[in-house]
Structure formats: structure tokens, C-alpha cells
Chains A and B, each alone.
Chain A
Amino acid sequence: MNKNTKTQELHSNPTTQGAGEQIMNGAHAFMQALIHEGVDTIFGYPGGAIMPVFDALYDYSDKVNHILTRHEQGATHAAQGYARVSGKVGVSLVTSGPAATNAITGIADALLDSTPLIVITGQVSTSLLGTDAFQEIDVVGITQPITKWSYQIRYAKDIAWAVARAFYIARSGRPGPVVLDFTKSAQNEKVNFDYKPCNFIRSYIPVPDIRMDQIEAAVDLINNAEKPYALVGQGVILANAEKALKEFLEKADIPAASTLLGLSAMSTDFRLNKGFLGMHGNVAPNMKTNECDVLIAIGMRFDDRVTGDLNTYAKQAKIIHLDIDQSEIGKNVTVDAPVLGSVADSLPALTKKLKPASHTEWVESFREHDNREHDAVIRKEVYRTEGELTMGEVIHKITEATGNQAIVVTDVGQNQMMAARYFKYSKTRSMVTSGGLGTMGFGIPAAIGAKMGAPERTVCMFAGDGGFQMTIQELGTIMQEQIGVKMIILDNRFLGMVRQWQELFFDERYSFTKMHNPDFVAIAKAYNIDGKLVTKREDLDDAISDMLKDDKPYLLVVEVEQKGMVYPMVPAGTCVTNIIM
């Protein structure tokens, strides 16, 4: 075969053969499978072992928008951001070896935060597997502990089956990441392609049926409660059960607070929304955990950043736990009434049987703590009139300027906790953050994905000066695609959260947390992104209006106080009522 015919064959369009079946190479089959699954956006980075798929992608550029990121970690976080705001499966396409290992952080992040994500990694040809071939690494072996499913496609005949199964697994039940490790030989092999979506795997029950005995036991506890209290997690958002949640809470007049990932499931101004839980959460939600008589956990997993010391956590309360994942029930907290199933099923079933109730005094009792927190923390953080700028006031001004309509994306650290505390929501799927894994560098690429997933909405990304520099190269992606994300660096010239712990728990020994930073605005300018540095309070409002005046990318750098602290704080592993302010 001469070189020309070989090239021709590689590029040849699929030929039709019989009804529903077509002969094509594996790479084309793969692209068609993705299109069958409704994929219209891919975040990726090409390389040797995935080149046939990228070559096929070239033929489908009218159907699939491929965003070239600047690093594979960026591709996975962008796909996560896209999935989190759109509810669709995020897709990331990278090559073998170092590309796959670069993608690992995003895959692990998606597992801990239950994000539907499919990462396709190229792999050396099937005949070379296990020989330490160029850019060969055991991707399935590496990713098994951090995926819902990880599979190597060795032959083109397995493509349709594997892709169908991957999408079913990633999006069904408790969502999560799936890795498809796609050998180059399978990409080039000819195959009779016939696609059937997957909706059943005999070893897998994504959504367990709700059990009426469990519903009744839970209803019985709630109906007899005097001080019921609900903890809202991301499960509500993943199940699209925001309305069902509101009806449930309203019928029995149950105050509720939200985990980090549950934020925006309830709008900020909802009467029964009492705020944010956990280590840097609001005072009342944490205090009331140890005062309520019935604690209703809804699609949340009792993370240690929420519970603090388990031995003193909600010991006075009967605990009801609604979760889709059997392995979460009883994992951290002993549960009195488990309710297994999707909250989309269990919440309406509970609401139907609930007695309408009113707990006015209990609901109002949160206010006393709110006032305390306002005096001790919020007034100083958000409404300061002199001295250095603070993170809280920047976030507060920006959320107000967007009419509380924007999507907030955060990096990790003080910026994240401040955004979680002070950003406000009127729509669901408005908070994108790395909760479980706590990945610094998540912010910029996740914001790119969020803007792609919700182009009509304003996306504000808050990062610290540390995390911003972990994935700063994604400014190139923003430049190339003109993705209108609004980036705000809350610059304290420190790795702020680590510095805070050093101040509180390590005798103010600031070991390697001070940062000498570049001129961020100049860097943005080099990427043709508008930006501004604000160092004075009187310049902040104008800079924010300038940032939000159009839909173009923008970088706002705000110099905030160097030694700012995130308060309140429940120190790690202590009782939730042990709050430093």
C-alpha cells in the first residue's frame, strides 16, 4: 500500500452498508457514538495516541465544538464546570501517558463531587500494551480507584458498547467520572458500526426504588418533631429536585441549611434557607445541628468539613438520611431512619404524607445567632469603610452588581470559603467549586466550562493569587475562544488559607506561604484580556461596572488585606458548636 492510499483510507468517509450499520474506522465510530449521546462540546488536547480520533473530529466540527485547553488538567476541570452548570455529561479528550496522568486530578475531583464526566484517553496500540511503549501508562489501573468505571477499548467492535455504557454509568444514579482508554489500533480498525444506547446493566442499580416503610418511618419522626432541621446537599441539584425540596420544607415549616455543594439548590432569599454549613459556615446552621430534635440530611454525605467531631455531632437528634447511594448511609453518622433512593422520588413521597406544621419559634430562633455572626464577623468583613479591602466586600459587591443572577465559580482556599459565604443565588446550578478534593487551580478551567455550559449567564470566577497561577495558562484558552468569563483575583500575596492555619495553629510560623506575584493585569493584557488592578476602596465600584459592562473576558485583580481571616471557623475535628469568630 503506498502512502497516498493509506492516507485516503484514514480519511475515508463512512460507507453505508445495510440498515443501521456502517463500515468505518474506529475513530469515526467513536465520534458517531458521541454524537448519538448528544455530545456537542468537548474539551481536549491532541497527541500521538489519540490522533485518529482528532482526525475524525475534524469531519464533525459542524456538530461538535472542541475547545483546545492549554493543559489536560484544564480540559477535565472545564468538562466538570460544563457538567455542573448544564447537568449534561462533560467530555474530555486527551492522549496517552502524560496526558492521562495530567487528567487524573480532574477525574478524582469529579469522583468526590459526583460530577458526570467522561475522559477519553488515547492508548498505545493493543499489540504494544504492557511493553513500556512510548507514552504508555496503565490508565485503567491508575484510574480504577478514582472512577465509577474505567475501561480499555482494545478492539473497534467494542466501541459502541463501551461508549453507550460509559454515558449510562456517568450520568445515572449518583453521577461520576468514567474513563475510556482507547487504543490507537482500535481507533484505526475498520468496524461495522451500529449504535444502541444503554439503559440497563445487570450488576448496577443506579436509582434504588424507594421503600414505603422507610418513608413512613421518616414521616413519623418529622411529624412528631418540634425542632426539625434539614441539611441540603448536592443530591438535590443532581436529582433536579429543587422544587420538591421547597415544597417539602414549606409544608412542615422546616428550616434548612446547605453544604458547600448544595449551595444554590435553594435561593438565598428563601424564607427557610438558613445559610451555609460547615467549617466556615454560618453560625446558626452549625449551632442548630446540635439543638434540633430531628435532623434530615437530604442528598449530602456528612463530610468531615460539615460534621467536625462525629462524637459530639447531633447526638440529641434522630437522624434521617435521604441518599441514592447505599454506601453513604451509616458511613460517617449512625442513622435512625434511612431513606434510600433518589431525592426526586423520596422528597415528594415524604411531602405527601407530612402533616402541615408550623415551627415559628424554632425557625425564628436562628436569628439570634445570625445577629451574633453579623456583629462579630460580617460587619467587619463586608461593610468596612476604612482600612484595607477585604475578600468579603469584593464578593458582596460583585454578587449585588449581578443582581444575584450570576454563576459563581471558585478556586480553593479563602477565596472559596468567602465566595460560599457571601455570594447569593436566585437560580439553581449557580455554584461551581471543588468541594471534596479541594483542587487549587480548579477555578479558571471550571469557569471556562461553566460559561460554555451556560453561555447566556454571567460567570464570575474568584481565585486567590496562589490557585490562579496553578492553571494560569488557561488564559490562552479564554483568548482563543473569547470565552466571556469574569475573573477576580482576591490577591493577598499569601497562600491565605494555609497562612490562616499557620497563624491559628502553628504559632504564626509562616512557612513558605508568602508569594511574590507577577503583574496579573499585564499577563492578562498579553493574552489580549482586559483587566484592572484595584487597590483602593473608592475604585472598586467602577472597576466592577467596567468588568460587567459586556460579555467579554475580564480580569479584575483586587489587592485585599494580607492577613485576612475566614471567620467563623470550626477548627478541624472539633465540635460544630466550637466556633471561633
Chain B
Amino acid sequence: METKLYTITVFSENTVGLLNQITVIFTRRGLNIETLSVSPSALKGIHKFTITLLSTQDVVEKVVKQIDKRVDILKAYYNTDEDLVHQELALYKLATDKVLEHGSVEYFIRKYNIRVLEISNDCTVFLKAGHYAETQALFEELSQTIGVLQFIRSGRIAITRSKVERLSDMLEGMRKIQEKKNENRKF
């Protein structure tokens, strides 16, 4: 089976130890997480994990089911890049004197659509948002020309292209189950 990059999205309650519960499922199968990004979601009290994994569909499907099974996980699903709009952020710290020596910041802004976040006597910080290949290309060009003092790239963040928001469907379904249970208790 073909190995490719899958993006796993996990919605969870915001409880202590959730990340560990998710990562052990990768650990026991000997899988490497490529990138990981965690933040509160649009819904209050619900956290969203975006995880990328290089694997086959068979494996990613089983991993997602085992994540979804955990009690505190609201919903877990996976997508390939075609289904997603995705992005990563990268920061590049450069020596300001080297930047000035190189001459053209405009060149980088036009070619790579960077933003300059900071300029001091010592250092200059570029920010670039993009896909992995794009942030990587800039890193390589900067390394060869100006030299990079520090480099950091975020994990992937992604949203699906489809109109359906799977989490809200799920929560609606669960609300109905709760109503039914409460009614049963009344009578």
C-alpha cells in the first residue's frame, strides 16, 4: 500500500493528559508523528489537535479509530492534502549586518511573500506562511545567501474544504442522545 502524508484531526475535551492518551497510540505501533499542533477550537472548552503522519491508509484508519475510541475524544478523522487547506508558519532569524550586506529585502518579500517581524542592530526576523516546500525553499535560499541563525517551523494547521463540519454534527447527535436519556429518566 502507498505511503503518503495524512492529516489527522482530533477534537477533545480539555483535560489533563489528553496529549499522552493520543501519542501512546502512535508509540505502540512504532509510528512517528511528523508534525503536531494543539490549540483551543472555535467551540469553548474543546481542543483541536492537528497531527500529520506518513503512513498507509490502512494504518492511519486503524490509528484514527483507536484515537476516536478514547472516552475524552469527541471526534477524530483523517484527510489527505487534496481535502484540505493547510498551512505552516516559519520564523527565520538572520544577522542584520548580513541582511544589509545582501542588499535586497524587497527581493524576499516579492519572491516569498515574507513579513519582516523585527529588525534590531543584531538580528532580523522573517516570517513566512506556506506549505512545507515553500518554507523549506526559503530556508535553503537564506542559508546559502545570508545565513540563518535560528529557524523554527510550526506544525501544520488545516481545515477541510468540504462544507460539513463533522464536529458540530456529532455534538448535535450527542445532544439528542442526552435529551432522550433525560426523558427516559423522567418517566
> Do the two shown chains form a genuine complex with each other?
yes
Residues of A within 8 A of B (CB): 140-141, 144-145, 148-150, 152, 169, 199-205, 325-327, 330-331
* Contact partners of B61 in chain A: CB under 8 A: 330
Contact in complex: B181, A141 (CB < 8 Å): no
- Number of residue pairs across A and B with beta carbons under 8 Å? 50
Q: Chain A residue with minimal CB distance to B11?
A: A203
11 A-B pairs (CB sep. < 8 Å): A144-B20, A145-B24, A149-B72, A199-B185, A200-B177, A202-B174, A203-B73, A203-B74, A203-B174, A327-B65, A331-B65
Whether A327 contacts B62 in the complex (CB less than 8 A), given A144-B17, A144-B24, A202-B171, comes out as: yes
Contact in complex: A202, B69 (CB < 8 Å): no
Contact in complex: A204, B71 (CB < 8 Å): yes
Min CB distance A360 to B, Å, is 40
B133 at the interface (CB under 8 A from A): no
Q: How far is the CA of A201 from the CA of B13 in the complex (A)?
A: 11
* Contact partners of A326 in chain B: CB under 8 A: 65, 68-69
User: Most chain-B CB neighbours within 10 Å: which of A144, A152, A169, A330?
Assistant: A144
Contact in complex: A140, B65 (CB < 8 Å): no
Whether A203 contacts B24 in the complex (CB less than 8 A), given A326-B65, A327-B62, A331-B62, comes out as: no
B28 at the interface (CB under 8 A from A): yes
B168 at the interface (CB under 8 A from A): no
Contact with A along B12-38 (1 / 0, CB 8 A): 110011001100100010000000000
Q: How far is the CA of A202 from the CA of B69 in the complex (A)?
A: 13
Contact with A along B158-187 (1 / 0, CB 8 A): 000000000000010011011001000100
Whether A200 contacts B17 in the complex (CB less than 8 A), given A145-B28, A327-B69, comes out as: no
* Contact partners of A330 in chain B: CB under 8 A: 61-62
Q: How far is the CA of A10 from the CA of B24 in the complex (A)?
A: 40
Q: How far is the CA of A148 from the CA of B66 in the complex (A)?
A: 11
Q: Among A149, A202, A327, which residue has its beta carbon within 8 angstroms of that of B68?
A: A327
User: Most chain-A CB neighbours within 10 Å: which of B16, B17, B24?
Assistant: B17
Q: A140-B17, A203-B12, A327-B65 are in contact. List 12 more A-B contacts (CB 8 A).
A: A140-B16, A141-B17, A144-B24, A145-B24, A200-B181, A202-B74, A202-B178, A203-B71, A203-B72, A205-B177, A327-B69, A331-B62
Whether A327 contacts B66 in the complex (CB less than 8 A), given A144-B17, A144-B20, A203-B13, comes out as: yes
User: Most chain-B CB neighbours within 10 Å: which of A169, A203, A205?
Assistant: A203
Min CB distance A210 to B, Å, is 15
Min CB distance B178 to A, Å, is 5
Q: How far is the CA of A179 from the CA of B13 in the complex (A)?
A: 18
Contact in complex: A199, B181 (CB < 8 Å): yes
* Contact partners of A205 in chain B: CB under 8 A: 174, 177
Q: How far is the CA of A150 from the CA of B171 in the complex (A)?
A: 23
Q: Chain B at the A interface: mostly helix, strand, loop or mixed?
A: helix
Q: How far is the CA of A249 from the CA of B104 in the complex (A)?
A: 80
Contact in complex: B72, A152 (CB < 8 Å): no
* Contact partners of B69 in chain A: CB under 8 A: 325-327
**Top 6 A-B pairs, shortest CB-CB distance:** A327-B65, A145-B24, A203-B74, A202-B174, A327-B69, A200-B178
* Contact partners of B66 in chain A: CB under 8 A: 327
Q: Among B21, B65, B177, B178, which residue has its beta carbon within 8 angstroms of that of A144?
A: B21
User: Most chain-B CB neighbours within 10 Å: which of A149, A169, A327, A331?
Assistant: A327
* Contact partners of B12 in chain A: CB under 8 A: 203
Min CB distance A437 to B, Å, is 15
Q: How far is the CA of A325 from the CA of B66 in the complex (A)?
A: 10
Q: How far is the CA of A340 from the CA of B17 in the complex (A)?
A: 29
Min CB distance B47 to A, Å, is 11
Q: Chain A residue with minimal CB distance to B64?
A: A327
* Contact partners of B16 in chain A: CB under 8 A: 140, 152
Q: Chain B residue with minimal CB distance to A154?
A: B16
Min CB distance A147 to B, Å, is 10
Contact in complex: B65, A148 (CB < 8 Å): no
Q: How far is the CA of A500 from the CA of B72 in the complex (A)?
A: 44
Contact in complex: B174, A141 (CB < 8 Å): no
Q: Chain B residue with minimal CB distance to A149?
A: B71
* Contact partners of B17 in chain A: CB under 8 A: 140-141, 144, 150
Min CB distance A321 to B, Å, is 13
Q: Chain B residue with minimal CB distance to A150?
A: B17
Q: Quick one: which of B33-56 are within 8 Å of A by CB?
A: none
Min CB distance A476 to B, Å, is 36
Q: How far is the CA of A203 from the CA of B17 in the complex (A)?
A: 16
Q: How far is the CA of A149 from the CA of B68 in the complex (A)?
A: 13
* Contact partners of A200 in chain B: CB under 8 A: 177-178, 181
Q: How far is the CA of A152 from the CA of B178 in the complex (A)?
A: 26
* Contact partners of B181 in chain A: CB under 8 A: 199-200
Q: Chain A residue with minimal CB distance to B63?
A: A327
Min CB distance B172 to A, Å, is 11
Min CB distance B46 to A, Å, is 9
* Contact partners of A325 in chain B: CB under 8 A: 69
* Contact partners of B171 in chain A: CB under 8 A: 202
Q: Chain A residue with minimal CB distance to B61?
A: A330
Q: Quick one: which of B133-160 are within 8 Å of A by CB?
A: none
Q: How far is the CA of A428 from the CA of B12 in the complex (A)?
A: 38
Q: How far is the CA of A204 from the CA of B69 in the complex (A)?
A: 8
Min CB distance B71 to A, Å, is 5
Whether A148 contacts B68 in the complex (CB less than 8 A), given A200-B181, A202-B171, A203-B12, comes out as: no
* Contact partners of A204 in chain B: CB under 8 A: 71
* Contact partners of A199 in chain B: CB under 8 A: 181, 185
Q: Chain A residue with minimal CB distance to B185?
A: A199
Min CB distance A158 to B, Å, is 12
Q: How far is the CA of A204 from the CA of B74 in the complex (A)?
A: 7
Contact in complex: A148, B62 (CB < 8 Å): no
Q: How far is the CA of A330 from the CA of B71 in the complex (A)?
A: 21
Q: How far is the CA of A330 from the CA of B171 in the complex (A)?
A: 26
